[in-house]
Structure 1
Amino acid sequence: RVTAAALAAKAESTEAITVLREAIEIARSVEDRKAEASVLLRIAGLELDPLRRLDDCRATAAEAQALFREVEHWRGEADVVELQLRLEIKEGSRQAENLADEWRALFFDAGDRKGEAHCVKEAARMFCEAGFAQEAESRAQEAQALYQEMEDQPGEASALLALAEVLATFGDVQRGVQAAEEALELSKLLEDPQGQAAAWSALAKVQMMDGGDPEEACTAAEKAVSLVKRALKGWATRRDEVKALQLLSEAGVAKLLKIADQNGDPDQEPDAAEKALLQTIFDKAMKAVELAVDHAMNMDDRRLQASTLHTLARGHLVCRSQVGATDAAREGLRLAREIHDRSLEASFLMVNAEVHIADNYLGKADEEARAALAIFRDLRDSEGEEYAKSVLDDMYGTTRGGQGTSAPDASKYEDSSKVQAASESSVVVNQGPTKEYIIESLQVLSKNVVGDDVEIDSPLMEAGMDSLSSVEFRNQVRGLVPGVNLPASIVFDYPSLRSMTDFIHMKASEQ
């Protein structure tokens, strides 16, 4: 079991399961039912996350639960129910509410009030993740009340942080900030630096959400980093420092985006003072994440390494440093695939897609975004799916990827032209679309319309396009080069992709 735990810590989940199956055989040979159930529970946990083998997880968890009941081990059974709850949450099942009540009942029946409050609080976080707003808020408030009844102030502070997360996630940032500040005051009263660090981190996350204040997020993140660094020889670990540095970098990027959003004219050159401000914010954000990456690379945890590389890639992408984003995403994608973390894999594919869009390689962007979309759908990750759809929609000016949804905050880089001044490497001079970009885009659009690849010299009307679909195709082509006047008869006047490319490139160059 120790060997398997070490392997799992290094994100070698498949190898860990193999070792744990050996442990099961040993437990069975000595007829230790409790040990066998514990190992099965550990396997089920790995099958759930990160491997996402949901059916295998369900079967393994049921086997563990039967064994715990056989030996009348209520605490083990409670751990199984928690795992089953996480499973149902991932699948968005309403059965999750019954499991959450069953989990709580096990602690209540055992007279463990602190454990009961803890499971109510954690259930609130899980329901928040699943998008069940009312259920999440009511359970977070109930957890707070339970801790208050026990006069457990550290517990009450942790429940307030859960409530802050729930409120902010569902749009009530003001109440989320109030809850996090209450938790901070409690931690200060208790002289609990670890609790204060958690509260500052929560405040930073809440303030980074829509409707929050990125400036306040940066301040809160800096406070968290400072507390963690001072406690590295005490309660804090290097992992805590890495997470705090990532948060500081993300807050800096959010601040850059806010400044960019406040610019009424994205083509207006920022003045010297604003350039200096942008450069300072950019340098601070990138220094934080680069330090996080360095620390993570010295740790035997590939999942943490991949996570920091994702933060680094997003930072470069926001500031239009395509080379930096590409390098970080390439290494991160390799790690994500090594550790079989498909969620991270999809996230890195989306970074690549956005880099290709910025470089005018629409065909490659389409390929990466669709690969990510397929993974998000397979994982039942609705937020990721909407993100991928929105990028595809923005590429074509249509709803071919989805129904006009909004991407998460991290994808707002395309609206942050003013942020380019934060990095010399991010300065982009637009000289119009290249022929390569146009031909790739036309190939993708034509395939979308006729359902098959079209040779660049083949007449479109012979490749399966009719008068109705030619209108749809023409409208999508116009979206490729906004401001360029294309004739309604373009499909007939320039019947092949090659001739159409030459015409569009000529017209765009005249603009």
Structure 2
Amino acid sequence: MPVGISRGYEPGRILLQLPISQIGTKHRDLSQNESDPELRNASVALSEAVAEFALNHGEAAVQLAREARDIFQETSEGRSDATRVLMVALTDVESRQEAIQLGEAALLGLTSPDSDAEKRRRALVLQSLAEAAAFRCRGELRTKAVSWAEEAIAIQKDLGDKIMEGYANLAMASALIQKGVKAHQRKHYQRSIKALKLALELFAPSEASDAAPELSALARSGEARALHGLASACGRLEDFRSSVSRAREAAAIWQELGYRMEEALELEFLARLQLQLGQYKEGRKSGEEALKIFIGLKLSIWQGVTLRTLVKALLRGKKVKEARKLVNRRMALFKEAEDMVGICGALDATAEVVMAEGDAVQAAELLKEAVKKGKETKMKDRQFRKYEATMTAEQANFYLQGQKYDDALQHAKNAFYLFEKMDCQVEMATTLSTMVMAHLCLEHPQQALEDTKRAIRIYEGLNDKKGEGLAWINHCSGLTKMGDFDEAMKVAHKARDIFASQKLLIGEGQSLDHLSSLHMTSGDFAKSATCAKRARQIFNEAACFRQEAFMAWAEAEALFGLAQSQAEDFKSDQELPEVCTKASEAAEESLRLARDADDELLMMHSMQVVAKTRIMCFRHWEAGPLVDESLEIAQKNSQRMEEASLWLLKAQICICDGEDDKAKENAIKSRDIFEEVGNDQGMEQAREIIDGDYLRQQREEDERGITSATPMAMMPSESQMYGSGGIGGRSGGPGPGQPPMAMAQAPAPSAAAPAVPPPKGGPTLKQIEETVQDIAMSLIGADDLEMDAALMDAGLDSLASVEFQNTLTKEFRGVPMPSTLMFDFPTSKEIAQHIKDNFRG
């Protein structure tokens, strides 16, 4: 039984390999016409082996293929066919070493290397070797897989067999993708994409138009396989839009050909891609179609995998009750059929539902039960140990989400030990990430830093830049927790440089998120806003719309902080300062994006910042309904810190309305919750209202004739709710049951501090210079840059200069930016002066 009940089982091995169905058809026909009884029996056995393989009966396929191969010993073509089927079946039941040994022996048995027939047999064996070595093998074998595939390509090209040359390219692409999976290196995916595009050309109708019908079907099938490969490679490079498009094309071809198994595999894969894009309804539809097919084919392994994907789609679409009904129904059917593999899959999916219902302990117990049931399946020893380690690691994640940090740490350590015994390097490093988050939540920053260093060493040994970048982000979290903000800033820049070098948008966005948060902590709201804005653009480009919405909220908070820090006393009948207008517009945009993302908690936070900016802009009466709606969400989701912040905000609205008694009542509610969660800053802000300090200051200002905008300090919970969130970064965003983030609390202005408007003439030259420098450094990837340095010489290439000019145009609306900007004003200082001279607001 393949290890299909474990998480992350990819369809790639099946969908990227040369099918053996043609061999089955060929020998079924031969068995009807063969006069030799022995050869007829061999053909019958081989056709039955292919049929058993199609039913996912791997062991039966192996036995029948062995029988056929033994009989075909003296028949070259029959022995070659049987060898191919046997190698594929052995690979399917995880007997890769035997499959590879069989293939290498078959190569040595070829005695007429110059004949076309022997060349074809050699190419087929080489391709079988490449397919067997590509998945779940050590690095040296994956390297061999590429070499074997390259030799097969050369032979098929020499023979002029375009269809088989296309399939050999698929084998090479498969090996390259797996090399990238085990140690993310962009070059592997780029090479695989090149091979897949070449395969598409070779499978094109014009190339196969004169072929027999069965070969035309083989070419059409190859086209679908190449599209699947492109979907997989594009997804690994974070081009999810292209990935979804390719997978849809492939699914349509499988349906056209009537290949139900392949269609279902593609649909399940498509569903996961759609979830990545936030297309929950589409993902649900794809998952439902895939599950229906797998049920019809009676493939319990893939029913379990698809069930979990479908449950995720339902949960993300807030259909918890429907997800519960689905898993209960499937579990009952699996138990009735005594299908142990199906039961394991249903337990895994049920754990997801229970976690969404808020019971992390019960969810973890279900995974433990799945491991116990897994012992009763036909998994081989190593398969079971890998499954056990994977499920133990997932239990740790459940405990982490449920804020059971000691349990999370212990299970992560257990999973790490299990992976270490199997020398699963990538999984070891990934599990260290969970350990780091548990340490941070348990206030063990030093241990967290030690574990991030261990993970970095593993990734460096693998030359896995993506993993290394993620580990540095975790390291940034630990440093931030320890209060070493300068070093954390350097590490965040280092992570960003790594991701930028690999063109990994999500990682770069996460790094910018951390930088934004660190700048916020240091009180540099302008830089915080710049980093958040760039991260928002990156997440939009990567089609990560929830993260985009989150960074819009972060940008709005930073701009609000900037307005608070710059706003001097100004009167309600005066023109609103531009810095306040920008903050208000950013807040409205963040709420729009949060609503588009349909993220309730994110909407809660966005409504808060909208409410604060409206109060600051003398529209406090518009803030009340937003605060009430946010408060309802906070109470429903047990977000106590946010509830306290919202009661404080209600108190400040009451002050604007002259309802001092109500203000004190709300401030007392706020103070009590802040005391419960241990937030001293929040307690102090509430106390100022309760004791009347704030009101006394207001009266003094009134006596002096000052009518200031009601000050709205940064909510005490915001900076610590979404500080360095480990792998997910702050841009992981809020989520139910999410552990508190590690970011130190940002110093917020006093609740009684008056707002200060910017100078009437717009931003100062110094402010413009800082903004220009920040944008330039972000594009160059530099930590420092002289104002008089020529930007083109400092590393701003022609492509980046276009983005630089576009960003400046958006940042300083109304300022003319000539196409010769970089030549007319080569330095940051000259560009800033040009902007200042032409600024109109």
Bin the TM-score by the shorter chain.
0.5 to 0.7
Q: Which has the larger radius of gyration?
A: 2
Match of 1:11 among 265, 278, 281: 278
| Pairing of 1:483-502 with structure 2 (within 5 A) | 483=697
1:377 equivalent among 621, 635, 639: 635
Residue 201 (str. 1) matches residue 473 (str. 2): yes
Contact kept? 1:91, 1:380, Cα under 8 Å: no
Tell me the residue number matched to 1:481.
695
Asked if residue 53 in structure 1 is aligned to residue 319 in structure 2, the reply is: yes
- Mapped contact 1:176–1:206 kept (Cα < 8 A): yes
Alignment of 1:404 onto 2:652: no
Residue aligning to 2:414: 142
C-alpha separation between the residues in 2 aligned to 1:408 and 1:64?
41
Q: In the alignment, which residue of structure 2 is the partner of 1:64? A: 330
Alignment check: 8 A CA contact 1:393 1:399 kept: no
1:198 partner amino acid: L
Determine whether 1:228 maps to 2:499: yes
Establish whether residue 346 from structure 1 lines up as the match of residue 346 from structure 2.
no
**1:44-123 counterparts in 2 under 5 A?**
44-49=311-316, 51-67=317-333, 77-93=343-359, 94-106=361-373, 110=379, 111=381, 112-123=384-395
Query: Does the aligned pair in 1 maintain the 2:587–2:613 contact within 8 Å?
Result: no
Change (3 A) 1:485 1:392: closer
- Residue 58 of structure 1 aligns to which amino acid in structure 2? R
**CA apart distance, 1:304:** 3.2
Deviations 1:267-288 (A, max 9, x none): xxxxxxxxxxx5xxx5554443
Counterpart Cα distance in 2 of 1:390 and 1:148: 50
State the AA in 1 paired with 2:541: N
Q: Secondary structure at 1:328's aligned position in 2?
A: helix
User: Normalization by structure 2: what TM-score?
Assistant: 0.42
1:219 aligns with 2:490: yes
Distance 1:89 1:181 in 2: 31
Using structure 1 for the length normalisation, give the TM-score.
0.66
Displacement after TM superposition at 1:372 (Å): 1.6
Cα-to-partner distance string for 1:288-345 (whole Å, 9 max, x where unaligned)? 3322222233344432321332232233233335444433332232233233221221
**Alpha-carbon contact 1:167-1:173 (below 8 Å) kept:** yes
Could you list the runs of 5+ residues in structure 2 that have no partner in the other structure? Answer: 1-266, 564-578, 654-662, 709-841
TM-superposed deviation, 1:366:
4.1
8 Å CA contact 1:197–1:228 kept in 2: the answer is yes
Structure 1 residues 289 and 63, CA, compared in 2 at 3 Å: closer, same or farther? Answer: same
Structure 1 residue 349 displacement after superposition:
1.4
Equivalent residues of 1:390, 1:406 under 8 A apart = no
For 1:356 and 1:369, how far apart are their aligned partners in 2?
11
In the other structure, the counterpart of 2:586 is 328
Greater shift in the superposed pair: 191-200 or 385-394: 385-394
Tell me the residue number matched to 2:460: 188
Distance 1:480 1:307, change over 3 A: same
Instruction: Report the alpha carbon displacement of residue 202 of structure 1 after superposing the two structures with TM.
Output: 0.7
1:292 aligns with 535
Q: Deviations over 1:181-237 (max 9, x none)?
A: 23223333444323321210111223334x4322222122111111111122xxxx3
Distance 1:193 1:231 in 2: 7
Aligned partner of 2:505 in structure 1 is 238
Matched residue type, 2:696: P
Is this contact kept in 1: 2:473–2:511, CA < 8 A? yes
Is the partner of 1:369 in helix, strand or coil?
Answer: helix
Separation in 1 of the partners of 2:498 and 2:281? 36
Secondary structure at the residue paired with 1:151? coil
Amino acid at match of 1:345: M
Residues 122-137 of structure 1: pairs in structure 2 closer than 5 A = 122-137=394-409
Whether 2:393 is the aligned partner of 1:157: answer no
- 1:387·1:407 contact (CA, 8 Å) conserved in 2? no
Which letter maps to 2:552?
A: L
Number of aligned positions between the proteins: 406
Q: 1:40 touches 1:63 (CA, 8 Å); kept in 2?
A: no
The answer to whether the 8 A contact 2:300-2:339 is kept is no
CA offset at residue 19 of structure 1?
5.6
Shift in CA distance, 140/336, structure 1 to aligned 2, threshold 3 Å: same
Change over 3 Å in CA distance of 1:85–1:326 after alignment to 2: farther
Select 1:250's aligned residue among 514, 517, 521. 517
Q: 1:178, CA displacement in angstroms? A: 2.3
Cα distance between partner residues in 2 of 1:78 and 1:313: 45
Displacement of 1:97 = 4.2
**Deviation, structure 1 residue 510:** 11
Please say if residues 369 and 391 of structure 1, whose CA atoms lie closer than 8 Å, have aligned partners that are also in contact: yes
Q: Is the 8 A contact 1:303 1:339 kept in 2?
A: yes
Structure 2 distance, partners of 1:150, 1:22, is: 36
Contact kept, 8 Å, 2:641 with 2:674, in 1: the verdict is: no
Residue 226 of structure 1 aligns to which amino acid in structure 2? D
**Higher mean C-alpha deviation, range 398-407 or range 92-101:** 398-407
